[in-house]
A and B are shown apart, each in its own frame.
Chain A
Amino acid sequence: MMTTLLPTKFGIYGGQFVPETLMPALIELEHAFVDAQKDPAFRREYEGLLASFVGRPTPLTYAKRLSEKLGGAQIYLKREDLAHTGAHKINNALGQALLVKRMGKKRVVAETGAGQHGVASATAAALLGLDCVVYMGVVDIARQEPNVFRMKLLGAEVHPVTSGTQTLKDAINEAIRDWVTNVSDTHYLLGSALGPHPYPTIVREFQSVIGIEAREQMLRDVGRLPDAVIACVGGGSNAIGVFSGFVDDKHVELIGVEAGGSGIASGKHAARFGDATKARVGVIHGTRTYVLQDEDGQIAETHSISAGLDYAAVGPEHAMLRDNERAFYTSATDEEALSAFQILCHIEGIIPALESSHAVAEVIKRAPKMRKDQVILVNLSGRGDKDLNTVIKELGIRN
Chain B
Amino acid sequence: MNRIENAFKNKPIFMPYFPLGYPDLDTSIDVIEVLAKNGADLIEVGLSFSDPLADGPVIQKATQVALEKGITIKKSLAAVAELRKRGVTIPFILMGYFNPMLAFGLEKFVHDAREAGADGFIIPDLPLEEAGEFQTLVGDLPLIQMLAPTSPNERMESIARHAKGFIYLVSVTGVTGARTTISDGLGDLINRVREHAKQSVPVCVGFGIGTPEQARQVGALADGVIVGSACVKTIGESQDPIEAARKFAKSFRDALRQLDL
- Which of A176-184, A251-259, A332-340, A366-374 forms part of the interface with chain B? A176-184
* A61 located at the interface, meaning its Cβ lies under 8 Å from any Cβ of chain B in the complex: no
Q: Separation in Å of the A310 CB from the closest CB of chain B?
A: 15
- The answer to whether A17 and B126 have CB atoms under 8 Å apart is yes
- The answer to whether B53 and A296 have CB atoms under 8 Å apart is no
Chain B residues near A177 (CB-CB < 8 A)? 53-54, 56, 174-175
Chain A residues near B73 (CB-CB < 8 A)? 296-297
Chain B residues near A389 (CB-CB < 8 A)? none
Complexed CA–CA distance, A21 and B158 (Å): 15
* A58 located at the interface, meaning its Cβ lies under 8 Å from any Cβ of chain B in the complex: no
- The answer to whether B150 and A21 have CB atoms under 8 Å apart is yes
Task: From B64, B101, B104, B155, give the contact of A24 (CB < 8 A).
Answer: B155
Q: Separation in Å of the A328 CB from the closest CB of chain B?
A: 26
* B255 located at the interface, meaning its Cβ lies under 8 Å from any Cβ of chain A in the complex: no
* A283 located at the interface, meaning its Cβ lies under 8 Å from any Cβ of chain B in the complex: yes
- Counting chain B CB atoms within 10 Å of each CB, the highest count among A1, A16, A281, A296 belongs to A296
- Counting chain A CB atoms within 10 Å of each CB, the highest count among B73, B148, B152 belongs to B148
> Which bracket fits the contact residues of B?
35 or more
Known: A181-B174, A291-B99, A297-B104. A2 touches B129 (CB 8 A): yes
Complexed CA–CA distance, A182 and B150 (Å): 11
- The answer to whether A164 and B51 have CB atoms under 8 Å apart is yes
Q: Separation in Å of the A165 CB from the closest CB of chain B?
A: 9
Complexed CA–CA distance, A318 and B54 (Å): 26
Complexed CA–CA distance, A299 and B64 (Å): 12
Q: Separation in Å of the B78 CB from the closest CB of chain A?
A: 14
* B240 located at the interface, meaning its Cβ lies under 8 Å from any Cβ of chain A in the complex: no
Task: From B52, B99, B152, B155, give the contact of A293 (CB < 8 A).
Answer: B99
Task: From B56, B98, B101, B149, give the contact of A21 (CB < 8 A).
Answer: B149
- The answer to whether A180 and B129 have CB atoms under 8 Å apart is no
* A284 located at the interface, meaning its Cβ lies under 8 Å from any Cβ of chain B in the complex: yes
- The answer to whether A1 and B158 have CB atoms under 8 Å apart is yes
Complexed CA–CA distance, A186 and B128 (Å): 23
Please provide the chain A residues from 16 to 59 with a CB less than 8 Å away from any CB of chain B in the complex.
16-25
> Contact mask A265-298 → B, CB, 8 Å, 1/0?
0000000000000001111111000010101111
- The answer to whether B100 and A20 have CB atoms under 8 Å apart is no
* B125 located at the interface, meaning its Cβ lies under 8 Å from any Cβ of chain A in the complex: yes
* B102 located at the interface, meaning its Cβ lies under 8 Å from any Cβ of chain A in the complex: yes
- The answer to whether B151 and A284 have CB atoms under 8 Å apart is no
Task: From B99, B102, B103, B151, give the contact of A23 (CB < 8 A).
Answer: B151
> Contact mask B140-181 → A, CB, 8 Å, 1/0?
000001111111100100110000000000100111000000
A-B contact pairs, 9 of them (CB 8 A): A16-B127, A19-B54, A20-B146, A20-B150, A20-B151, A20-B170, A23-B150, A164-B51, A176-B53
Chain B interface (Cβ < 8 Å from any Cβ of A)? 49-54, 56, 60, 64, 67, 72-73, 97-104, 124-130, 132, 145-152, 155, 158-159, 170, 173-175
Ranked nearest first, the 4 interchain pairs of A and B with the lowest CB-CB distance are A297-B103, A297-B100, A21-B148, A181-B174
